[in-house]
Structure 1
């Protein structure tokens, strides 16, 4: 079983390789929650995620034992970059099998460290099966992203750094996919400060580990679907589940909207960019999933920042709509001179800024002589949007809102 000694040995191996990432007080989150909240910013780690720690520690132990061949891994991206970086550091050939849906930024990140990339399967588990077979055929050592003591030991160094900065934490909130991070951190935390609560958080779209925790036995799922691709694990690892059942105090789940709102909050209010997996802890805090005594000191791990820019754009767009800072309308006008001007005049009077507009007079659902105007507006909240609706109704305009 993994112990504190192994984690401290990993800490020594990683010295000078990984960044001691900031563990910063978060005043806005603290005020919102009533807790004293600190954020461990592993999104600022080399390769953009905590995964470098476990991958480097594992490959370092292989090198220490005389391994000189290649390594193979399966990953949605962050573990892949960690393995690629570590293999490059030690001059070992690395092949990474990634799901076909992996964001381009993560594929490029892996290739940038000189690793070979094979895209295979629709999720991590299918990529994993292919990678294991590939490794056996090539005689490569398989570097598992979580079911490996040396990998878990490397991940556990996150907790050591947190306690170095703030030794009196009441709780640590950790994202969970396969369970390697929370296993390593929990072993370290409970060995040093047994009273510290370990709160695990997963995406509801990848529920296997949480369901297994509740049932006290491994439960696999048939599919996963979540924007938190870094924790989109379909099957439960019995190895990490054993640690989680032993050390984790509570296990919470967050939905897609909660994850997206946390990403947007961190970007806008904390000036921190995280991926979906990195935001689940903050999502749990923001949406009342964490129940501790008022004033408790809470450390939340922002596990990674490798978010695809297309996904980020979508999250921002939807976030603006949900927070009533953007409004989309489809207005039916009489297709004659001045009709559009009278519509835009109302928008000018109420201070709504047009950011996009389209004019359509050919749709088959239009009466002859009518036109559709689609418009996207910058707005200043729900009261402002209600004023826009009122003024358009008073002006006799026929419109519908698009969401």
Structure 2
């Protein structure tokens, strides 16, 4: 009889003949051992709780440094190695998350501490280590708490047949749970401690990923979304009205998978289909501009205590890469998903009783309308919002769902504003300019007070600029509290109305087409903002939209947050090298909002990948023999490129039936070989260049859609005048 220890797969810690019993004392010891080594992640009450009919809390394990819960068990295991073992090193098999972190889990102990009266805990299950640790600890600390498990077929089948079996798995959106055979110790320890096991369909997982991004403003991978998916799918009707914790186990989802998940979620949700001076405002009078004072901002700050969220300002994971100590003011976590809630709440509470009774109206490309709808609903004020026809469907729908009457009018914000002001006169409504009303600026400026309170030694603050209310308010507050702190405004090259106004020393109309930062798409800056801004801002910069797309992508991949284009411009400016004077300094960037529709997010991620050389599009003429396309795919697989799309280009007949019409493809002349359009994902510019060289070597006829060379790190963008006395000037 062969000795089991001679089996190359034998593991003394996972011996089927001698499974290890995991007990609560071991989990308790592990939780103490890893204190200070891993992140004690928050257990946040979900905004979607009311809609789902329960008090839902999300255990945010995706905020671990490695982006997943695996860090806990790995840390505990490594700490228990002998010095000899540490010297020689370790090895592990992984589909991703293990490799990021390299099983005991104190997650479950934190849950009972953070939500002591929890009724049920929902836990994802792959190999079962997280589930076993959670179930054992929860049942020990609070036996009446129910523990439910989501996914996978390997655990379901093992429990059904009462033995561990090997299952062949298809590709899955929840690759973190893709384990062919459950663990020895987990299977042995799980028996008798689970209340129920369910399996949820993948389209619900895609919808859950999309919903968590849109409503909670955080990014989770498929495995981390299965618990929310099972609730959305109605698999737990018994939990209605109860207090439930769902463990969001990780956030390591690549941009390609995230894009596909968002599109799939939208399709499953039925949201994706393939096809006389009327502008006079007494509060924004060019002949009588209002000077905003710090005392008014402070009064607004005191007025809104308990009414808006005091958002966190954590240190960014990408700080080291950017060469600054970067902190992100997370205004996308406001109830409305954007900073606009501050100024709008302040303006609404200062209305007279008569104005509140008759109602208000505003013009908005999205965020202001959402914040206006939310706060008017809370205060019982009738609300109308005029949006341009090209406004985001997602933002429009959200504002309408929150109670606003949506009126579509005009091709841009200028048209919408004129129409809103006309309706205000006709219907005796109060028009509120959401980027220039003095009370709006004062409310938005409260962010500056919070920043100085949270980071007293901050060196610089980067502020996105559209109409200018946020930049003006923050600059006034910061310069009053800490005059030596530098304040910089950031715009994109497609919406730079403040830059043009400062260059010409007057407010000018700037035509704006579609932009990735639609929240900044204001054709003409405000009267009061322009008047109050002078002398308060150290520098204005303009960043190209490609950098904004890259910033959105890196924030998703490294910080696990879904930030819209307007909220990502500060990070984009740092990535583009526009602030060399800030190297090594403590910098805050205001992430103003997260209300980006999933279509735009998907496009931004693809654009960001292309800008970083991680997406290559090309056409190639391939032999029509049976092995032709197979040889191409084999070559791509061999170099490690991931194929995203590969389709034949159909011939268009124009006179000569033997000719294939391929416009602008002068280097492809063959009439006998099929032409294939290919999109592949690479690791970056070096990998792309290697692939390009390989294509040129193996094929005679090809065409690359864009330059395949890594462009120099460019800072060729518009830069504004130095506004403050003795500024740090970065012009070359």
Q: TM-score range by the shorter chain?
A: over 0.9
Change (3 A) 1:386 1:288: closer
Name 2:374's counterpart in structure 1. Answer: 85
Name 1:277's counterpart in structure 2. Answer: 566
> Alignment partner of 2:581: what SS?
coil
Name 1:74's counterpart in structure 2. Answer: 363
> Alignment partner of 2:321: what SS?
helix
Q: Could you tell me whether the CA contact under 8 Å between 1:100 and 1:122 is conserved in 2?
A: yes
Offset of residue 268 of structure 1: 1.4
Q: Could you tell me whether the CA contact under 8 Å between 1:73 and 1:80 is conserved in 2?
A: yes
Name 2:497's counterpart in structure 1. Answer: 208
> Alignment partner of 1:247: what SS?
coil
Picking from 391, 397, 403, the partner of 1:108 is: 397
Q: Does 1:300 align with 2:589?
A: yes
Picking from 198, 219, 224, the partner of 2:487 is: 198
Picking from 687, 691, 696, the partner of 1:388 is: 691
Offset of residue 293 of structure 1: 5.1
Name 1:263's counterpart in structure 2. Answer: 552
Change (3 A) 1:87 1:38: same
Computed over aligned residues only, the root mean square deviation of the Cα atoms, in angstroms, reads 2.0
Q: Does 1:146 align with 2:435?
A: yes
Change (3 A) 1:32 1:384: closer
Q: Does 1:353 align with 2:656?
A: no
Question: Structure 2: which 5+ runs fail to align?
Answer: 1-290, 654-658, 661-669, 707-732
Q: Could you tell me whether the CA contact under 8 Å between 1:347 and 1:353 is conserved in 2?
A: yes
Q: Does 1:37 align with 2:326?
A: yes
In the TM superposition, 1:224-235 aligns within 5 A as: 224-235=513-524
Offset of residue 225 of structure 1: 4.5
> Alignment partner of 1:46: what SS?
coil
Q: Output the CA distance in 2 between the equivalents of 1:318 and 1:141.
A: 41
> Alignment partner of 1:370: what SS?
coil
1:17-48 CA-partner distances (Å, limit 9, x unpaired): 211111011242x3234332211011111111
> Alignment partner of 1:47: what SS?
coil
Change (3 A) 1:6 1:266: same
Q: Output the CA distance in 1 between the equivalents of 2:390 and 2:585.
A: 40
Q: Could you tell me whether the CA contact under 8 Å between 2:356 and 2:381 is conserved in 1?
A: no
Q: Output the CA distance in 1 between the equivalents of 2:673 and 2:513.
A: 46
Name 1:378's counterpart in structure 2. Answer: 681
Name 2:69's counterpart in structure 1. Answer: none
Q: Could you tell me whether the CA contact under 8 Å between 2:355 and 2:430 is conserved in 1?
A: no
Offset of residue 369 of structure 1: 3.7
Q: Does 1:7 align with 2:297?
A: yes
- Greater relative contact order (CA < 8 Å, ≥ 6 in sequence): 1
1:114-137 CA-partner distances (Å, limit 9, x unpaired): 110001111111100100010011
Picking from 46, 61, 67, the partner of 2:335 is: 46
Name 2:306's counterpart in structure 1. Answer: 16
Q: Could you tell me whether the CA contact under 8 Å between 2:317 and 2:559 is conserved in 1?
A: no
Q: Could you tell me whether the CA contact under 8 Å between 1:335 and 1:361 is conserved in 2?
A: no
> Alignment partner of 2:403: what SS?
coil
Q: Output the CA distance in 1 between the equivalents of 2:373 and 2:453.
A: 29
Q: Could you tell me whether the CA contact under 8 Å between 2:357 and 2:382 is conserved in 1?
A: no
Offset of residue 9 of structure 1: 2.0
Change (3 A) 1:167 1:3: same
In the TM superposition, 1:120-269 aligns within 5 A as: 120-269=409-558
Change (3 A) 1:127 1:296: same
Offset of residue 393 of structure 1: 3.5
Offset of residue 182 of structure 1: 1.1
1:80-131 CA-partner distances (Å, limit 9, x unpaired): 1111111111111100001111001110111111110001111111100100
Q: Output the CA distance in 2 between the equivalents of 1:386 and 1:300.
A: 34
> Alignment partner of 1:201: what SS?
strand
Equivalent pairs counted in the alignment come to 402
Offset of residue 356 of structure 1: 2.1
Q: Output the CA distance in 1 between the equivalents of 2:644 and 2:540.
A: 42
Name 2:37's counterpart in structure 1. Answer: none
Moved more, 391-400 or 223-232: 391-400
Question: Structure 1: which 5+ runs fail to align?
Answer: none
> Alignment partner of 2:351: what SS?
helix
> Alignment partner of 2:336: what SS?
helix
Change (3 A) 1:323 1:61: same
- Where is the strand percentage greater, Structure 1 or Structure 2? 1
Change (3 A) 1:355 1:67: closer
> Alignment partner of 2:314: what SS?
strand
Q: Could you tell me whether the CA contact under 8 Å between 2:363 and 2:385 is conserved in 1?
A: yes
Offset of residue 282 of structure 1: 1.2
Q: Output the CA distance in 2 between the equivalents of 1:376 and 1:223.
A: 31
> Alignment partner of 1:299: what SS?
strand
Offset of residue 147 of structure 1: 1.6
Q: Could you tell me whether the CA contact under 8 Å between 1:224 and 1:234 is conserved in 2?
A: no
Picking from 606, 614, 626, the partner of 1:317 is: 606
Which contiguous aligned blocks of 4+ residues in structure 1 show a shift greater than 4 angstroms?
A: 63-66
Q: Output the CA distance in 2 between the equivalents of 1:293 and 1:349.
A: 43
TM-score by length of 2: 0.53
1:221-243 CA-partner distances (Å, limit 9, x unpaired): 24455221111111132321111
Q: Output the CA distance in 1 between the equivalents of 2:523 and 2:486.
A: 26
